[in-house]
Structure 1
């Protein structure tokens, strides 16, 4: 099977990253008409229709290349993966085997602040600015007579009089503002109604269905907005219902932010009111008002709106950065292997070498290795607990030492340094990461340990936010609430991280994957609140990484609260969803839908990590297709000797490098407000750009599973759903970035599975 070597002017290109993107040239991009956009792509027209096999999920990959006379001869060199003949796989139902393309303060503090009224003037004696133009004035966010206007349209109606609005940056972004509110009395937690959603808007929510992770939800009206919503993107169409007509669609973004020591989330109410919840996580940290609670902005392009909003919010807040301003770890451009699913906590040196050897001998050498949970020295303090409670104690074990446990010290492996040296020299591994939890281990550290005493640890008991328990409870948090967490003094946490990381670095380790991060939000009482303690730990972690490792070699995991997201100054890689779960067939489609939708937000702050997968699995090609589009790392967690190299060789070059897409993979614009998992009709289209082409993956996620929230009373029975959808070059955002100034709008489309090529004229859009 041929594999792509990707040569340009005779030189091999190993990395997939492009130069900084050119300024958008929207004037060179043809405007789509509703009629043209609605054409289905079929063999009788310059387009394609996607009808899945009746036996379940399906993935299709297409490459769109801007057309000019010299492009067609080089088209094969622009593909993301190697060419191959269409595969023919058995089609049992329900399964994933019909996927034909290969393509996760102390002390009481009362914060009383004055909220700025809408359209407040800068407190300056300088010459007054001229009045804004009518167009800019229409774009300005305004709160008038209980009506919140964004982008010239009403977003919220019947806002209470205690709701406030202040401009975020009237010069740079006239449509950007902060929503706030005042309360009658101070408290550490407020729930403020801000009005009802005006008619004509539909929304996409990214909310935490449990403490660690976000998933998407869609709807209209405020009543069904989930608790713990951390991003809300809304769309209002013109009267004819077309979002494609010029000026016909307005997008509004609502981002609950960090407001001082308080964290904010959105939620709906049975009265159809939209609310924001402001909480500190410490009864002693109180306020009467929120000033910069919810960031609001609007525009006509949802992806550009998100990018510009994150950049502006990071500039205003100063406690996190856009991904474009961060150092990107080099390991992302190399194929990786993680030990977790291969061994779980039974990981050992012999097994690690066996796994590396089997992949290397199969022609896909891992250059990146994660030694996951199971290498640390921990203690189970609950061996005498009643048998009925034993399962709950598994997440309460604590760290006792900074060095490796006995499995990594013996005759076959003298110590961790000996193992790291051997696997780099013998197996060609370039980067070795070690796993650890943010607090050391799941249950923190053992407070009586001689090694840990220097960090002033103490045993505390988590207190969850009402928003968390309103959705799904988590077994790990149930365990920690019962048995407590050994938390290190925040004033000593940098010393702890530096001691841990300097040791790992000294034995040849290159970076760390840091898990269980969101637990800090439950430990803010007595430490100044959830935001304060999170930022203390986050800054210490990032500083230790910078001091002890050569690159910004950090993967953040279980970190989907806004406390962590909006405190990431240097962290550049974060897991995008719940774990890949090989033994749960109904969760495979949910995983792909979640990572792609979550990347809308996370992809502007991190390189989203779409998680490992198994190359020999009924959903292997489904997951492989998604990883090829993700823009993040590609790594598996196969057991040694259990591999499908036909899948892996479509993703990995002979030297172990991968061709990584330019951005985070995200749903196409016409997928943003549909449910690709449970509405029975919507395909999921994920788009990205390469150096010289664009790529769209089409996935059928319907019928195989259901969202885990809200909880259903009956077991779900997978069904087979056949779907027809539409594809257009206009589904691929920002194609003009790679098209050049003289692009005529013509497009070449190559279908990866069928190896078919189509030339689409500019009039097709």
Structure 2
């Protein structure tokens, strides 16, 4: 085995075995020696055993949300996480658990890193080390411990040049992650988020059918009635997703639920008797600008029938376990396959796609091609066909190296396992997972924190996390009469724009290596809004205790100019002045949340923004302080919170400009 390190890119130049074939599974095992005093490790792992208890919530709460009897007993509101006792999974066990999501872990010992991890951030003496794995010709994983395991996907005597992972070292933990990703982008098949266009569904507030209807109740009438009800209540939904359940699908072809295949190139007429064109037409008549359609990277969970590919007039690759067909693993054939399907979708009036089940390309082509080669051909064929048809993609179940290493065009990805409605435990873990996962993935694509129900008991904390995600913001209400319109008014401007931070938020430096679910600390995430520092603070403690903690501007993930700052609490109205070196004490009870806005004080004056919105600076278009005079312009009218001559004031605006 010939390994090379080129400026933090670890590459197998060539690996040769003359005695026996390299296994298609654990082909190579490479032990890393990290000669540093590692005090803490933040890990993102695909090992689903660490979240063993989480799956119990789906069979209970998902059915409550659609007014059905739960299928399982109610799970605990304080489930253990992480579970580290059964993490030594065999490869077969690992892939049978659908390992498509990463789970963050904070560990004290690098030897505790579980198998099938993809990223780690090490806290060493006065510096940080970041390491992320890639899918090039093969795919690599971290663990157990500091071991790198290489997955080939095809038995062979040789493994030719393939990039395994990148690493970076720096004294800034945020810069070290960004540098690590940029190194990966140079040798891998993706572009960083900032170099790609923003998808259309980043505009305005969205609605998705999934938690509102599941597959059981998905239909033309139910979608139209819900969207009409939301619009009548003044909720300016701009885009929607028709999720799973529209297909003509088979019964499962094995004991796995995901062995169902799509049978016909058509919509289920028992659910959509007028076809999709009529559905899209009626939605646009209700004011919906963009309609998206759900599918999977392999067309359906288990692939397609022979009849489907004949109707699509394409060649398929046979997948023997389910006697089904999937797109072929070469870019020309994959592009042709997807282009035919996406052209059909585009002709029906759809504007974008949600592509689910993307992790499955890790499995589909084993024995035919090296896993990295097959994955790249499929991902590129998919993205190019979508681009040609002017269809943006929301990527889902796609947090594996085979996916993120190939996001050349795609620029939004889900960053956690599904939202589970009404469940206290999931609310806490959902916010934890998205926050820490986004440390890595927000450099590759806009993070999607998933939909939520506005009449969920914990809707407020969900809403704040979505606004700070920097990604798409969308709801999944079933009952428009229950929709929390007042909450949405704090998020959506009159023109339909949604408030959000300038960049995806990151955990503050003091909680980077903390565990807010199990420790007595508040989760703090920070970004800027129109250039103003903003911090969201959450109490997601498992035991539900009240916690007192502090916010410090020196712990933000970006540099803050020294000096005095006015601060303002969005939910309590608490306000004051603090030095940039001071700590601001804050106390929150279980699942309470607050947002603090900070504004530099100049000659005793500062402006916060409009108090009617979750992010007061967002509606501001211009802001200046000259010779002790404050002037600002806003897109909408409202109540301006400002510090004037050292005193806080609330001034109703008569127009969209103000001078103080």
TM-score (norm 1): 0.65
**1:105-144 equivalences in 2 (<5 Å):** 114-116=2-4
Q: Is the 8 A contact 1:363 1:654 kept in 2?
A: no
Shift in Å, 1:456: 3.0
Counterpart secondary structure, 2:303 = coil
- Residues 564-623 of structure 1 show CA distances to partners (whole Å, capped at 9, x for unaligned) of 111110010000100001154322211100001000111000000000011001111111
Candidates 297, 316, 319, aligned match of 2:168 = 297
- CA–CA separation in structure 2 for the residues paired with 1:393 and 1:313: 35
Q: Is the 8 A contact 2:118 2:132 kept in 1?
A: yes
Candidates 528, 537, 547, aligned match of 2:388 = 547
Q: What residue in structure 1 maps to residue 459 of structure 2?
A: 620
Shift in Å, 1:696: 0.8
Counterpart secondary structure, 1:261 = coil
1:675 and 1:332, CA in 2 relative to 1: closer, same or farther beyond 3 A? same
1:379 and 1:452, CA in 2 relative to 1: closer, same or farther beyond 3 A? farther
- Residues 60-83 of structure 1 show CA distances to partners (whole Å, capped at 9, x for unaligned) of xxxxxxxxxxxxxxxxxxxxxxxx
Counterpart secondary structure, 2:32 = strand
Counterpart secondary structure, 1:698 = strand
**1:287-436 equivalences in 2 (<5 Å):** 287=159, 292-315=163-186, 317-345=187-215, 346-380=217-251, 382=253, 392-407=255-270, 409-410=272-273, 414-425=274-285, 427-436=286-295
- CA–CA separation in structure 2 for the residues paired with 1:381 and 1:685: 44
1:673 and 1:439, CA in 2 relative to 1: closer, same or farther beyond 3 A? same
Q: What residue in structure 1 maps to residue 297 of structure 2?
A: 438
Q: Is the 8 A contact 2:412 2:447 kept in 1?
A: yes
Moved more, 592-601 or 451-460: 451-460
Shift in Å, 1:721: 1.6
- CA–CA separation in structure 1 for the residues paired with 2:424 and 2:324: 33
Shift in Å, 1:407: 3.6
Q: What residue in structure 2 maps to residue 263 of structure 1?
A: 139
Unmatched tracts of structure 1, length 5 or more: 1-112, 117-165, 169-175, 238-248, 383-388, 462-480, 704-718, 737-742
- Residues 142-188 of structure 1 show CA distances to partners (whole Å, capped at 9, x for unaligned) of xxxxxxxxxxxxxxxxxxxxxxxx232xxxxxxx3537698783624
- Residues 394-447 of structure 1 show CA distances to partners (whole Å, capped at 9, x for unaligned) of 32111123332214653xxx321121112112x111111000011000111013
Candidates 496, 499, 507, aligned match of 2:340 = 499
1:417 and 1:409, CA in 2 relative to 1: closer, same or farther beyond 3 A? same
1:522 aligns with 2:367: no
1:760 aligns with 2:578: yes
Shift in Å, 1:201: 3.1
Shift in Å, 1:455: 3.0
Q: Is the 8 A contact 1:227 1:268 kept in 2?
A: yes
**1:686-765 equivalences in 2 (<5 Å):** 686-703=525-542, 719-734=543-558, 736=560, 744-764=562-582
**1:1-12 equivalences in 2 (<5 Å):** none
1:754 and 1:735, CA in 2 relative to 1: closer, same or farther beyond 3 A? farther
Q: Is the 8 A contact 1:180 1:293 kept in 2?
A: yes
1:455 aligns with 2:281: no
Q: Is the 8 A contact 2:312 2:340 kept in 1?
A: no
1:216 aligns with 2:48: no
Q: What residue in structure 1 maps to residue 128 of structure 2?
A: 251
1:574 and 1:484, CA in 2 relative to 1: closer, same or farther beyond 3 A? farther
**1:153-168 equivalences in 2 (<5 Å):** 166-168=5-7
1:616 and 1:286, CA in 2 relative to 1: closer, same or farther beyond 3 A? farther
Q: What residue in structure 1 maps to residue 43 of structure 2?
A: 205
1:423 and 1:505, CA in 2 relative to 1: closer, same or farther beyond 3 A? same
Counterpart secondary structure, 1:195 = coil
Counterpart secondary structure, 2:198 = coil
- CA–CA separation in structure 2 for the residues paired with 1:700 and 1:285: 53
1:720 and 1:396, CA in 2 relative to 1: closer, same or farther beyond 3 A? same
- CA–CA separation in structure 2 for the residues paired with 1:510 and 1:606: 19
- Residues 255-289 of structure 1 show CA distances to partners (whole Å, capped at 9, x for unaligned) of 2223x4111111135xxxx20001111224743x8
- Residues 323-358 of structure 1 show CA distances to partners (whole Å, capped at 9, x for unaligned) of 011011132121000001111113111111111112
Counterpart secondary structure, 1:223 = helix
Shift in Å, 1:292: 3.7
1:460 and 1:334, CA in 2 relative to 1: closer, same or farther beyond 3 A? same
1:280 aligns with 2:152: yes
Q: Is the 8 A contact 1:408 1:415 kept in 2?
A: no
Q: Is the 8 A contact 1:445 1:485 kept in 2?
A: yes
Moved more, 190-199 or 510-519: 190-199
Q: Is the 8 A contact 1:667 1:686 kept in 2?
A: yes
1:407 and 1:640, CA in 2 relative to 1: closer, same or farther beyond 3 A? farther
- CA–CA separation in structure 1 for the residues paired with 2:407 and 2:359: 13
Q: Is the 8 A contact 1:397 1:443 kept in 2?
A: yes
TM-score (norm 2): 0.75
Q: Is the 8 A contact 1:255 1:294 kept in 2?
A: yes
Shift in Å, 1:485: 5.0
- Which one has more relative contact order, counting CA pairs under 8 Å at least 6 apart? 1
- CA–CA separation in structure 2 for the residues paired with 1:381 and 1:755: 55
Counterpart secondary structure, 2:111 = coil
- CA–CA separation in structure 2 for the residues paired with 1:181 and 1:348: 53
- CA–CA separation in structure 1 for the residues paired with 2:198 and 2:157: 36
1:178 aligns with 2:41: no
1:537 and 1:677, CA in 2 relative to 1: closer, same or farther beyond 3 A? same
**1:33-112 equivalences in 2 (<5 Å):** none
- CA–CA separation in structure 1 for the residues paired with 2:270 and 2:35: 58
**1:592-671 equivalences in 2 (<5 Å):** 592-641=431-480, 642-671=482-511
Q: Is the 8 A contact 1:572 1:607 kept in 2?
A: yes
- CA–CA separation in structure 2 for the residues paired with 1:553 and 1:378: 25
Shift in Å, 1:379: 2.2
1:195 aligns with 2:44: no
Shift in Å, 1:294: 2.6
Q: What residue in structure 1 maps to residue 123 of structure 2?
A: 235
- CA–CA separation in structure 1 for the residues paired with 2:509 and 2:117: 20
Shift in Å, 1:746: 2.5
Q: Is the 8 A contact 1:582 1:614 kept in 2?
A: yes
- CA–CA separation in structure 2 for the residues paired with 1:417 and 1:493: 26
- CA–CA separation in structure 1 for the residues paired with 2:171 and 2:277: 54
1:282 and 1:583, CA in 2 relative to 1: closer, same or farther beyond 3 A? farther
1:606 and 1:453, CA in 2 relative to 1: closer, same or farther beyond 3 A? closer
